[in-house]
Each structure stands twice: as structure tokens, then as C-alpha cells.
Amino acid sequence: MSKNLLFTCVGLNHVTSPIEERETLAFTGDELREQLPQIAADLGGAVLLSTCNRTELYATVPEGEGGDLIRLLNDAKSAAVSDKHFYVLQHAAAANHLLRVASGVDSMVLGESQILGQVREAMSIATDAATLNGTLSYLFHSAIHAGKRARSETNIGRHAVSVGSAAVSLARKSLGDLAGKTVLVISAGSMGKLAARALAQQTQSHILVANRTQERAVALADQLGPETEAVDFDHLRDALLVSDIVISGTSAEGFVIGPDDVKPVMESRADRGLLFIDIAVPRDVDPSVRDISGVHLCDIDDIEAVTNEGRSGRRAEVENVEAIISEEVAAFEEWWRSLDVVPVISALRERAEAIRLREIKRTLGKMDLDDTDRKRIEAMTAAIVKKMLDRPIARLKNGSDKGLYMEALEDLFDIHPSGSRPRSPAGGH
């Protein structure tokens, strides 16, 4: 990897774009594994993070070339999302953003912990795809470390809600007490589990779980107790007919529920309304079901209003989390600066060693010495070279102006390592 490349993030999230835009760039787990090697092919490394609230591509590219990453994202999904919906961040700003994401302070649900697992999974997928270069590896490990610190050293995660539990709060806000209500949860994946568990813990409702893989629905129902039962995914209409609330959070690419499913159900329900809460991205419920009498539909963007409640206590912890993030970003910048000195140190040592070996060969060739004496002279000259280089190398590693020392050593010893980044005349970056 050429060191004049900068750590870069391009993405869109719940702040910069509506769900209609986000869902066009949402990647399933299988799509991530399929598309990532293709996206990374011309980049020398990439990590793709896709959740219900964001899609972000992390890579190392030259300064000012984030637009190419936007094009790659759009091409991967055959989308045409406008540049205005994206943010483009580089170097320290990109590092700060990734750490804020992993720490839960950039989430719709402030302090939620699910995002840390999603960051870890994104790194794991990149590792398996061999698209994780040195810079990306360093920063994603730092992000996971910062996320763990945020949750262990601060109270940012205390009483934080998940998107699933926020959906339950939204249902309660719309219908009041949920005791005795029948709630259909479509998905036994991560989103469905969170919603179903919140229902089981916080309400006395009857819970139905539907999943394309019936075994997973049965397993989740068994975990949650006698008030939960699995239903056949192929008989969703029957489940809709008896439900008061439907919470759907699958990873399907198309709509799971459409007008043709809902209209006959509503015609059989007399005056009983039906509340849909769609927490999936892409959406599970066709927005046109809103036009059916008696149907009320909320989507992931409606969750934000609910999550704003009770944020004040967690918001007070953001400053403590930001302090952790600042430490981690500073460590990244120090590590990044050290990359410049490594090739210079290596070149300096190689030059000194070449001179030592040349002089040893010339001198010892004229002397009649046994192996023991030769080894002693070898050790002595190696020790002299090491001690001569110790101070300049220490200055390179720890000096207040590494750039100045690097330029001086390169000039004095005529070393010009190809791996070092171009520097300004003042030695800055």
C-alpha cells in the first residue's frame, strides 16, 4: 500500500438521507461477501458497513478522491443516489467518525450496542475476503476497542434501547397498553429477536414469530416462553388476521407484505385496525398499504422520534465517550506518522550495515585471525554501528519534528526510501 493514501469514509445515514435513499444502498450479508472483493479490487483494501441506518465504505485512497468511492457504491447496487446525500471524510475525521459509530454516539438510538457487533462483523467479512489492509485493520481494531471502552468506562449504554425495543415503545405509544394484544414479529434474525425479546420482557402480549426458516422461528419462540408461538411463514395472511400489531425486520430484498396481502385481511377484520412497524432496510412492507382503510404504517424513520425520549441521561455521557475517542484518534495519528520513519530507519540501518560489512571484509582479508577473533571483531563493529545509530533513530521515532530529522538523515546519508510519504518543506504531512 502506497503511504500517500489516506484513510477515507464515504457513506449515508439516517441524518443525511431518507429511508427511500438508504434502502437502495443496503447490502445483505450475502451481498457484502459477494460485492466487497469487487469493490476493493481497484482500491487495495476496503471494508463495507451496512446497517438499518447507514451504509459506509471505508478504504484508503488519495486525498480528495472520495467521489470514486461513491461511484463504486452506486455501481455495486445499480443505484443512482445523489452525491448530496453522502458524507466524505478523510484521515483523522474519518477515523473519528468510525470510532463514534462503534461507540454508539452516531446511532439513531444513542448508546445502542448492536452497532459494535455490526462493526466487528464488517471487519470479519473484510478479513475473510482478504480486503483488510494494514490501515483498515489498525482502525477497525481501534474502533472495536473504543466501543468496548465506551460501554465499560462510561454509562453511555445504560438504559439504551435497541431499534427492536424502540419499535415496542412506538407500538405502546400508538395503542397504549399492549397487554392482551397479539403481536406478529416477522424475522427471527437479529432485529426480530430484539423486538420479540422486548415484547416478552416489557408487555403481556401474545407473540407470534414468523421466519422463512421455520426452525429459527420455533427456536426463538421456545426461548421466549409460553406466550410466544411460531407460525408458518407461508401462512402470513392467517397470522395477520389475528394480529393487532406487526413488527417486521427481515433482510429480504423485496417487500414481504404488500397490498394484496393486507387488503383481504382488513376486509375480514370489521373495524379492527392493524398497526405495521417496519424496522427493515430495505423495507419489508410496501408503503402503499397505508392507503388501505384501518392500516397505520410506521417505518424506521418514525423510530427516531421514540428514541429521542430518555436520551438526556445518555447524552450527558457523550462527552466522556468523546474523550475516549480522542485518545484513540491521537494514537492512530501517532501510528500513522510513525509509518514515515520506518523506511528511513530501515534504509539508514541498511546503509550502515553495508559500510560495516564492506570494511570488515577488506580489513579481515589482510589479517590472519582464527574464527573466535573474527567473531569478536564482527560483534564489536556491529555494536559500534548500533550505538552510533541509537540516538538518530530515537530522534526519528520520538522527536518533536520528525520531518526535519528525516530530511536531514536522507540528505546526509543519501538515502531516499521509496515507501516514505512526500512531505512539505517544513516536514509536515
Q: Express each pLDDT in 390-410 by its tens digit.
A: 887 777 766 656 656 666 777
- Which CA distances in Å does 384 have to 1, 356, 380, 389, 428? 34, 10, 6, 9, 32
pLDDT of residue 402: 60
Residue 329 lies in a domain: no
Q: Where a domain ends, among 133, 159, 185?
A: 159
Question: Which amino acid is present at 196?
Answer: A
At 65, phi and psi to the nearest 5? -110, 25
Q: What would the pLDDT profile of 287-343 be if each residue is shown by its tens digit?
A: 999 999 999 999 988 887 777 665 666 677 899 999 999 999 999 988 887 776 767
pLDDT tens per residue across span 114-166: 899 999 999 999 999 999 998 999 999 999 999 999 999 998 877 656 788 88
Clarify whether residues 85 and 36 are in a common domain: yes
284 and 171 in a single domain? The answer is yes
Domain extent at residue 212: 163-307
Q: What is the mean pLDDT of residues 185-200?
A: 87
Asked if the model's pLDDT at residue 15 lies above 80, the reply is yes
* Nearest to 96, CA basis, from 319, 339, 328: 328
pLDDT at 267: 92
Position 345 scores a pLDDT of 74
Task: Say yes or no: 32 and 126 in one domain.
Answer: yes
Banded pLDDT at 183 (limits 50, 70, 90): very high
Same domain, 174 and 133: no
> Which residue is catalytic, options 49, 52, 208, 303?
52
pLDDT higher than 90, residue 83: yes
In the prediction, which pLDDT does 405 show? 65
Q: What's residue 285's pLDDT?
A: 96
Characterise 341 by phi-psi region: left (phi > 0), alpha (psi -120 to 50), beta (else).
alpha
Are 238 and 375 in the same domain? no
Mean pLDDT of 280-287: 93
Total of domains in the chain: 3
pTM of the model: 0.72
The CATH number of the domain holding residue 231 is 3.40.50.720
pLDDT at 143: 97
pLDDT given at position 403? 59
More confident of the two residues 190 and 220: 220
Residue type, 178: L
For residue 6, pLDDT over 70 is answered with yes
Range scoring the smallest mean pLDDT among 40-44, 259-263, 306-310 = 306-310
CA dihedral 215, 221, 226, 230 (to 10 degrees): -60
The whole-chain average pLDDT of the chain stands at 86
Q: Are residues 250 and 212 in the same domain?
A: yes
Annotation marks residue 298 as catalytic:
no
Residue 22 C-beta-side C-alpha neighbours within 13 Å: 25
Q: What are phi and psi of 428, to 5 degrees?
A: -85, -170
* CATH code where residue 150 lies: 3.30.460.30
Same domain, 298 and 242: yes
Asked if residue 422 has pLDDT above 80, the reply is no
284 and 300 together in one domain: yes
